[in-house]
Amino acid sequence: MTLERLSTDILILGSGGAGLFAALHAHKAAPDLDITLATKGLLGKCGCTRMVQGGYNVALNPGDSIERHFMDTIEGGKWLPNQELAWTLVTQAVVRVRELENEVGCFFDRNPDGTLHGKAFAGQTFDRTVHKGDLTGIEIINRLMEQVWKRPGVRKLEEHRALALIPARDGVSVSGVLMIDVRTGGLRFVQAKAVLMATGGGPTMYRYHTPSGDKSMDGLAMALRAGLPLRDMEMVQFHPTGLLAGPDTRMTGTVLEEGLRGSGGYLLDGAGRRFMADYDPKLERATRDVVSRSIYAEMKAGRTTPNGGVYIQMSHLGPKQVAKQFKGMVDRCRDCGFDLAGGLVEVVPTAHYFMGGVECRVDTSTEWPGLFVAGEDASGMHGANRLGGNGVANSTVFGGIAGDTMPGWIAAHPGERTPDEAVLAAEIARAEHPFGKPAGNVHALRERLMDLMWEEVGVVRGAAGIARGLDGLDAIEAELLETGVADGNRAFNLTWHDWLNLRSLVETSRVIALAALRRENSRGAHFRSDFPEPGDLDTSTYTVARQGAGGLAITDEPVQFTIVRPGQSLLDVREAAE
């Protein structure tokens, strides 16, 4: 097949909060640059930011502070975050939320005195989660999308799937990205002076998951093959309350946001007993990892609902108030036959967010000159556990930083970098691999993967289970590589894309499993049944995964306590900030 070649100054992969903010900031910083935004789906209609229900963490109230937000982030991340990244997140969130309102045009809910309303989210010492009802992501993405469409200087490549990061001939910088035009099935190489990877995460390798099924960790799979270092890959966040609507609907796994528990919702076992007091004094407002493990323990003990989960109850708060405050979720549950406002809804822990990702600096630059990363593709901001409300803040903060940074980087490093044609040819052959094999059942293989990762490398892990998981991944990958796709019309060939999705998921699942095996303690989202203690906080390390000529290696790096150390207080953070 003929390879089409395009060129641009800045190439942005992804149209979530990070990608759209980067496009707007880059266009503002350098309107003469050619900016191309490529997205796997339709602009403004895909990605995880649009699915955000809860809100946006920002310290605006006089009773709150950025130092307090910072400490909540560090303690919630179990002392594993990169503190410079976390500090940038909490300080710039204040700037970005004002930008969202005053320049982008977002409307958030307000208090009677006109200040932004902050609702309660778990793991935080202040109610700082700014929101638009329980449909915050739709508000943010719709307004960002309008702003991007208003700028004809931003080229849009919709329904373009990124396949590979292509290095330059020097082998140490990025030249561009190989893509598939989903609408035609044709291959395109987009050469760029700077590339932002903001494809999002999407841990859909688990039986229960919140992202849409086309989210398949493509960005991290590309980074892995490129030899870039991936940090904290064992850290998969399970949201405690995914809708459990039964085995025959894709609504199962859909998140019921944290504001339900923050506002006073109860979790009940199958017999109707409120059980969180057995696990944590913060009850339902404990952090996501604690609540997820508590629900998982109830499930393992057999104290479950008809579909195998637990119940969430909101009726004691008043059905009318619940229906008003959480309209989106009440409507969604009603569509599935549940009465969230007045009855009981079955829920289950559901894979929601990926704290792991590409290592980056505060300016979003990476080890590869010219390659930048933001949003869920990046790592270090959250450590072992992301606070609810820090996700969309992370995407918009660092997406904007990337957009500010890339034009200056291009000015300081002019000229295009010629692609390594051998790598480009190898990646094309890799993408076309299934057309040379007899057709098989890709769907059945993905079902096997979801069950395997849920059972063996899920909410609770142990060495024996991880070993079984790794063996199972090898078997699935071997069968996938012998499973083909009918080589007919490649336009909208969804079976081909299902095959590519599964290969990305298998590759990233293996890194998750190996990093989980490497970490012999329990921190945040990572819980080892055979190593349940957190280990010494003062000597904390994070995992780094890298694919090299000798295979995949997992190493440990010491956490740098650049602002605050374990045992220090909020006062120490303030003094360091001054």
DSSP state of 100: I
Strand ranges across the sheet with 344-354: 236-243, 344-354, 310-313, 266-268
Contact 169, 419 (CB under 8 A): yes
In this structure, the chain runs to a length of 578
Q: Is 413 a catalytic residue?
A: no
Chain-centroid distance of CA 364 in Å reads 16
Contact 394, 373 (CB under 8 A): no
Cα 522 to Cα 557: distance, rounded to the nearest angstrom: 17
Strand ranges across the sheet with 551-558: 378-379, 357-359, 230-231, 541-548, 551-558
DSSP string, 178-247: EEEETTTTEEEEEEEEEEEE------TTSSSBSS-TT---HHHHHHHHTT--EE-TT-EEEEEEEE---T
Cα 154 to Cα 14: distance, rounded to the nearest angstrom: 13
Please tell me whether residue 57 adopts helix, strand or coil conformation: strand
Contact 54, 136 (CB under 8 A): yes
Cα 275 to Cα 91: distance, rounded to the nearest angstrom: 37
- 128, 188, 261, 503: the catalytic one is 261
Amino acid 547 reads Q
- The CA distances from residue 391 to 90, 383, 419, 460, in Å, are 11, 12, 34, 23
Helix %, strand %, coil % of the chain (to 5): 40, 20, 40
Q: Is 316 a catalytic residue?
A: no
Please tell me whether residue 15 adopts helix, strand or coil conformation: coil
Contact 445, 479 (CB under 8 A): yes
- 25, 50, 131, 239: the catalytic one is 239
The residues, ordered by sequence, that sit 6+ positions from 55 with a Cβ below 8 Å of its Cβ are 118, 119, 121, 129, 130, 131, 132, 136, 259, 389, 392
Residues annotated as catalytic (active site), given as ranges: 239, 261
